[in-house]
Amino acid sequence: MSPEPISQPVAWQGVGQVAIAVRDLEKQIAFYRDTLGFAFLFRIPDAAFFSIGNTAGNLRLMLTVPEKPEFDHPASILYYKVADIQAAHRELAGRGVRFEGEPHLIARMPDHDLWMAFCRDAEDNMLALMSEVREG
């Protein structure tokens, strides 16, 4: 039996929040706030919230101590957009962020080149920087 047709599509507005399971909340707050420079929003007993980006549609990041064993696993890889990946890499490496390598070209697209660099947070979760580099 197939599902009923959608009469009214859902008005998706993008991703609003991403959660990363952490073991040492204080250590991870310091990494994301002080090392990466994300804007700290607020904290509740077992979670901390940050704003990523500089527009009204910011992504909210939640660092959380897992409530149940099934939530206790490494994070998915989050790709953080930066305007200048070379400058971001230099700045963050200077702050002690452990990178897996230098920023590198992933793909040449019709209107931009896609660059990425991979690094680790304070609990060894993989993160990625990405930049859409346009000519000019």
The per-residue pLDDT for range 75-116, each reduced to its tens digit, is: 788 889 888 999 999 999 999 999 999 999 999 989 999 999
Provide CATH code, domain 15-73.
3.10.180.10
- Amino acid at position 4, single letter: E
Quick one: CATH architecture of 74-136? Roll (3.10)
Closest CA to 32 of 60, 55, 9: 60
Q: What is the value of pTM for the model shown?
A: 0.77
Domain map of the chain by residue range?
15-73, 74-136
**How big is the chain, counted in residues?**
136
Q: Which two tokens stand for residue 133?
A: 């580099």
Do the two domains 15-73 and 74-136 of this chain adopt the same fold? yes
Contact 14, 57 (CB under 8 A): yes
